[in-house]
Amino acid sequence: MSEHERPTANRAPEAEPLPAYRRRRRALVLVVILTFAIGVAGAAADARRMLADPTVPTVDIFGRPGTPKFAFSVTGSEEDPLQRPVSVAVTDERVYVTDSLAGRVSVFHHGGSPVRSIGEDRLEVPLYTAVDPTGEELYVSDRALAAVLAFSTADGSFVETITPSYEGTDTVLAWRPVAVEAADDGSLFVSDIASEHRVWHVERDGTIIDSLPASGTAGPAIEFDFPNAVKSIGERVWVADSNSRRLLEFGPGGTLVRLLPLGRLIRGFDVVLAEEGAPVYFALADAFSHEVVLVSEAGSEVARFGGGGTGGGQLSFPNDVVVHAGVTWIVDTGNARVQAWEWGDAARIAAAALWSGGPSWVGVFSAILVLSPLALLFLLRRVRAAVSPEAIPMLSVWSLGGHWGRVRLYVAPSAGDPPHAETLPLIEMSPVSRSDVAFIAQVYSLEEEQAETLSIALRVRMLVTEDETLAIVARARGVEVYDPGRFADEFCSEGTQHSGGELSE
Amino acid sequence: MRKITIALAIAVAASALLLTPGIALANFAIHGGYSMDTDACAGCHRAHTASSPLQWSYTDPDTLVTGSGSALLISTADETFEFCLTCHGDDAAGAATNVISGVYESDEWGDIGQPLNGGGFGMNRTSNHTFNGASWAAWGGGETGRDGLFSTGAGPLIVMSCSSCHDVHGSSNYRILRDVVNGIRVGGYEADNTPTPYVISNEPGYPSAGWSLHEQGAIEMADYQPDYTTPAYAKAPAEDPDKGISGWCRACHTQYMTNAGTTTQVGVDADGYFTGTVDPEGAYDANDGFGLVTRYRHPVNVELAEFAGPRDLIDPVQLPTATLPSDTTWDEAWVDCLTCHVSHGSTAEMNGFANVWDSTNPEEDSGVGGVDPANSSALLRLDDRGVCQECHNK
């Protein structure tokens, strides 16, 4: 039997190895199926993670169920961009942002367009800010100046430095103010890290009313450790005791009402009170987890959103948060911007999650794998080969009863008209370059017909021949060379009427 | 068979002990002193859910074997300085030591509002040590000053962040200065946990033998009264001229403890300490235009009394020299790196001949804020060359 004997029908099918071409094709299909399955599984898992992101649950905070949704960022003007925003104060008309690096307060419309700058000639390292209840004055603490300065909100002009002193004395308290809060009655709460960390309650003119922790009050001894934010509503005062990672509520007379251990490095925070008598929530800016965390009055977490990063809705070391008229303003310090988040309806959960969190690397990689079926297009490519005239009869015999599919053969012009037989693949006469043929014939000492065939083979990179000389030269030029039997094995699917036994020697 | 199994088990156990990086030892320094029921660890770390990619790199002071792993930090800070500045920054009110403005903001351990001993890294600085994780070449670093494709006058690049100099959890040295810097041992502990510091302090309650570990360290910490605004620099332990802050700085600024010529670092000895040979005529290219010639340097770790020439030094010197409590006269003090330089950043202004572009042809105020090779104020404490005049009274 010839070494290239065609598979026969009388052989046991399970004993016949598949031709290499079909083995490769089958392996490709299997790999594609496997890759596609992995991609689908990964993408589905990531989509499920995003859609079911527990950080953006539906929460009823503003009297209706909703979820935080990133709206837009405020970055300042092209000429005066925000450089290192630290805190934000919001009124019905304006958004005030302290910028410690630029040494000023940038004022914006609610839509984010800049209005003006305040304090450029006064401030050095502004930290926290608050607007008085009438909306006429802006208070700014400055770390380098160790002072609280008052500015007019109308025109941004400097009003005065608020100097703390005890009533009836001229002794000015040397403080290092950090947080500043304007109470409903026009007084101020200012946290001080100079010596014994505390929160001073002072009149607008600086006269000291009292301080927190209040001395002589009953209850556990409280020591602040870098209190970074103070909020007040009526007689209730809340203090973020940052380094102690807790939030404290004080009532009338400075009595400790509540202490919430948070386990988070909270810098700025805001009290979310939809209406009088409604449940109180706290929006906390967690500088280390790059999130805003919503906790209930009892201290249990109800939502958190943001997450580290530079994209829209992602945060980097957020330092302050204010909730005003349903909009959450977050100072995204590390990204030099202030973000506005709305309280979207529940139907927007998926969109908000996708936008705020985004796909993970697993999701992106999986999405690429899902495209793997495109590789099957490789199987649709046409197999093109040059064929030398003497190989044609053998191909006819070897492929008896088989199907050639997308095989196309090219024969040299000097071989004459190609044969037409149902058992053969489509054979066409291929034009050749006479100069190429002459060159090939001379260089390789080939006959004209051999040179023409090699010229075609060099173009299509495949040759079917029984001519040993031609085969050697073609292989040397990087052409894939088949004899008729092996070519039929590779590319001609077996027919039912074929009997290879007739080819036995 | 049983003997072979036992032998294999012993070999595996021994290998595990030898190959496992040294355990992290809690220390009692600025960031130490935690109690057994402390919650402070959770302020920065998560054991199983850390989200920061920051690595903890470690060089065993005894074996100089290096290792690294996740620092298990919370936050997503990808540079050490970002994490540190969350408390120590200008706008981050989490620590009284504001290293950006370089100001101490409390009256507990220093004068409120006064400059930190090390200065600050922030704006308006005319020079500062790199701290943002960038690679940096130490002036006088390396062995020849010609490392790299072009001569820069500096040594191999060193990644510089807060943790390049400070070990946040403590060390044997003053101000949690690392025990191993740039692969050179500059402090540490003996096998019996006896501290072997390079840098100590004269602050009240400071353990002159260096910070101990564990319970003894806690006792020392209880007595310690740091002063962040008034330097109280001490001479090197046992007045070893190879140690002190100058010996510590030499871990990067290799050449600057050599009075003349070059120091060729041979390597480290069995204990990990710097070993080198000094060639007093060795040439060094400082990238100042003079090329590869012998360089001469101001002595360090020497008593001021040794330099009482025809005209006396100013009595007493106002710069922060290094002393010992047992010193009886001002000129027993040592001059070292910190006598003239600050460690974090300087606001000193360089003018006139202290601001020259080409040292081979010095023209007043032709420079960009200093002279070669730094072309900045080079962390000097005083304007121009005020640090010279403070002692020499020329």
We report the CATH number of the domain holding residue A332 as: 2.40.10
**b/e map A191-201, b = 16+ CB within 10 Å:** bbbbeebbbbb
Query: Cβ contact (<8 Å) for A194 and B43?
Result: no
Query: Cβ contact (<8 Å) for B105 and A265?
Result: no
Residue pair A238/A191 in contact (Cβ under 8 Å)? The answer is no
Contact status of B38 with chain A (Cβ, < 8 Å): no
Residues in chain B: 394
Closest-CA residue to B106 (of A144, A143, A194): A194
Query: Cβ contact (<8 Å) for B105 and A193?
Result: yes
Give the end-to-end CA distance of chain A in Å, rounded to a whole number.
Answer: 5
Contact status of A146 with chain B (Cβ, < 8 Å): yes
Residue indicated by tokens 């500062």 = B128
| Contact residues for B280 (Cβ-Cβ < 8 A; gap 6+) | B258, B259, B260, B261, B294
| Residue B61, phi then psi, degrees to nearest 5 | -60, -25
Residue A390 and residue A444 in one domain? yes
Any domain includes A132: no
Any domain includes A1: no
Residue A213 CA to residue A397 CA, distance in Å, equals 103
Residue A355 and residue A454 in one domain? no
Residue A386 and residue A497 in one domain? yes
Decide which of A297, A317, A344 is a domain's last residue: A344
Cα-based distances in Å from A84 to A338, B89, B247: 10, 12, 38
Residue pair B102/B115 in contact (Cβ under 8 Å)? The answer is yes
Query: H or E element: which one contains B262?
Result: strand B262-268
Residue pair A283/A269 in contact (Cβ under 8 Å)? The answer is yes
Decide which of A344, A369, A392 is a domain's last residue: A344
Contact status of A226 with chain B (Cβ, < 8 Å): yes
Residue of B nearest to A241 (CA): B94
The predicted pLDDT at position A485 comes to: 85
Chain A, chain B: beta-carbon pairs less than 8 Å apart: 82
Nearest to A245 among B43, B86, B91 (CB): B43
Residue pair B354/B361 in contact (Cβ under 8 Å)? The answer is no
Residue A258 CA to residue A237 CA, distance in Å, equals 10
Residue A322 CA to residue B361 CA, distance in Å, equals 60
Describe chain A by its helix, strand, coil percentages, rounded to 5. Answer: 25, 35, 40
Q: Is the ipTM of this complex over 0.95?
A: no
- Strand (E) positions, A102-224? 104-108, 114-118, 126-131, 137-142, 147-152, 158-162, 177-182, 188-192, 198-202, 208-212
Contact status of A243 with chain B (Cβ, < 8 Å): yes
Residue A410 and residue A499 in one domain? yes
| Contact residues for A207 (Cβ-Cβ < 8 A; gap 6+) | A164, A165, A166, A167
Chain A nearest C-alpha distance from B41 (Å): 11
Chain B nearest C-alpha distance from A91 (Å): 23
Contact status of B87 with chain A (Cβ, < 8 Å): yes
Residue indicated by tokens 């790059």 = A290
Residue A47 and residue A78 in one domain? no
The predicted pLDDT at position A8 comes to: 45
Residue B262 CA to residue B276 CA, distance in Å, equals 10
Closest-CA residue to A189 (of A247, A256, A139): A139
Query: Cβ contact (<8 Å) for A265 and B76?
Result: no
Contact status of A413 with chain B (Cβ, < 8 Å): no
DSSP 8-state class, residue B391 = H
Domain containing A488 equals 382-503
Segment 70-129 of chain A within 8 Å of chain B by CB: 84, 86, 100-101, 125, 127
Contact status of B123 with chain A (Cβ, < 8 Å): yes
Any domain includes A200: no
> What residues pair up with A343 in beta bridges, in sequence order?
A68
H-type alpha helices, A122-204: none
Contact status of B95 with chain A (Cβ, < 8 Å): yes
Any domain includes A169: no
Residue A374 and residue A452 in one domain? no
Residue A304 CA to residue B327 CA, distance in Å, equals 60
Show residues of chain A in contact with B51, CB under 8 Å.
289, 308
Residue A386 and residue A499 in one domain? yes
Show residues of chain A in contact with B124, CB under 8 Å.
none
Query: Cβ contact (<8 Å) for A317 and B86?
Result: yes
Chain A nearest C-alpha distance from B349 (Å): 21
Show residues of chain B in contact with A194, CB under 8 Å.
105-107, 112
Any domain includes A181: no
Our count of domains for chain A comes to: 3
Nearest to A194 among B51, B98, B106 (CB): B106
Chain B nearest C-alpha distance from A359 (Å): 17
Residue of A nearest to B85 (CA): A317
Contact status of B92 with chain A (Cβ, < 8 Å): yes
Query: Cβ contact (<8 Å) for B105 and A127?
Result: no
Contact status of A195 with chain B (Cβ, < 8 Å): yes
Which candidate in B76, B78, B83, B111 is best for mutational testing of the A interface (most A CBs within 10 A)? Answer: B76
Query: Cβ contact (<8 Å) for A143 and B113?
Result: no
- Say whether B11 sits in a helix, a strand or coil: helix
Nearest to B93 among A146, A178, A289 (CB): A178
Token readout for A366 is 């999986």
- Say whether B155 sits in a helix, a strand or coil: strand
Any domain includes A38: yes
DSSP string covering B299-350? --SEEGGGG--SSPPPSS--S--BB-TT--SGGGPEE-HHHHB-SSEE----
Show residues of chain B in contact with A86, CB under 8 Å.
91
| Contact residues for A426 (Cβ-Cβ < 8 A; gap 6+) | A404, A407, A408, A409
Any domain includes A474: yes
Query: Cβ contact (<8 Å) for A125 and B113?
Result: no
Residue A239 CA to residue A198 CA, distance in Å, equals 10
Residue B169 CA to residue B27 CA, distance in Å, equals 6
Query: pLDDT tens track of chain B, all 394 residues?
Result: 455 555 555 554 444 333 333 333 345 555 666 667 777 787 788 888 887 888 877 777 667 777 888 888 877 777 888 889 988 998 878 889 999 999 998 888 999 989 999 999 987 899 999 998 888 888 888 766 655 445 455 667 888 999 999 998 889 999 999 999 988 899 999 989 999 999 999 999 999 999 998 888 888 888 899 999 999 999 999 999 999 999 999 999 989 998 998 888 767 787 778 888 888 888 888 878 888 889 999 999 999 888 766 677 777 788 999 999 999 988 899 999 999 999 999 999 999 999 999 999 999 999 999 998 889 999 999 999 999 998 887 7
Residue B55 CA to residue A406 CA, distance in Å, equals 57
| Residue B254, phi then psi, degrees to nearest 5 | -50, -40
The predicted pLDDT at position A145 comes to: 93
Query: Cβ contact (<8 Å) for B112 and A176?
Result: yes
| Contact residues for B186 (Cβ-Cβ < 8 A; gap 6+) | B173, B177, B178, B179, B180, B198, B199, B243, B247, B248, B251
Residue of A nearest to B87 (CA): A243
Closest-CA residue to B314 (of B304, B299, B328, B300): B304
Token readout for B201 is 């302090």
> What residues pair up with A210 in beta bridges, in sequence order?
A201
Contact status of A178 with chain B (Cβ, < 8 Å): yes
Query: Cβ contact (<8 Å) for A84 and B91?
Result: yes
Residue pair B74/B52 in contact (Cβ under 8 Å)? The answer is yes
The predicted pLDDT at position B9 comes to: 53
Nearest to B107 among A143, A195, A333 (CB): A195
Residue A398 and residue A479 in one domain? yes
Which candidate in B91, B97, B98, B124 is best for mutational testing of the A interface (most A CBs within 10 A)? Answer: B91
CATH number for the domain spanning A452: value is 3.40.50.1010
Chain B nearest C-alpha distance from A380 (Å): 46
| Contact residues for A482 (Cβ-Cβ < 8 A; gap 6+) | A385, A462, A463, A464, A465, A490
DSSP 8-state class, residue B254 = G
Residue A390 and residue A487 in one domain? yes
Query: pLDDT tens track of chain A, all 505 residues?
Result: 444 444 444 444 445 566 566 677 788 889 989 999 998 988 888 776 666 544 456 667 666 677 788 899 999 998 899 999 999 999 999 999 999 999 999 999 999 999 999 999 999 999 999 999 999 999 999 999 999 999 999 999 999 999 999 988 888 888 999 999 999 999 999 999 988 899 999 999 999 999 988 765 545 578 898 999 999 998 899 999 988 888 999 998 888 888 998 878 888 999 987 777 677 889 999 888 888 998 988 888 888 888 888 888 899 889 999 999 889 999 999 899 999 998 766 544 444 444 445 667 778 888 888 888 888 887 777 888 999 988 888 887 777 667 777 788 898 888 777 666 666 777 888 888 888 888 888 888 888 889 999 999 998 889 999 999 999 999 998 899 998 888 888 887 764 433 333 333 2
Residue A96 CA to residue A102 CA, distance in Å, equals 14
Cα-based distances in Å from A277 to A23, A64, A185: 75, 15, 20
Query: Cβ contact (<8 Å) for A263 and B42?
Result: yes
Residue A356 and residue A401 in one domain? no
CB atoms within 10 A of CB B246: 26
DSSP string covering B27-67? B-STT----TT--THHHHB-TTT-----EEEEE-TTT--EE
Nearest to A195 among B42, B95, B108 (CB): B108
- Say whether A282 sits in a helix, a strand or coil: strand
Residue A413 and residue A308 in one domain? no
Residue of B nearest to A147 (CA): B113
Token readout for A284 is 């906390």
Closest-CA residue to A464 (of A401, A405, A393, A416): A393
Describe chain B by its helix, strand, coil percentages, rounded to 5. Answer: 20, 20, 60
Residue pair B334/B322 in contact (Cβ under 8 Å)? The answer is yes
Residue A295 and residue A396 in one domain? no
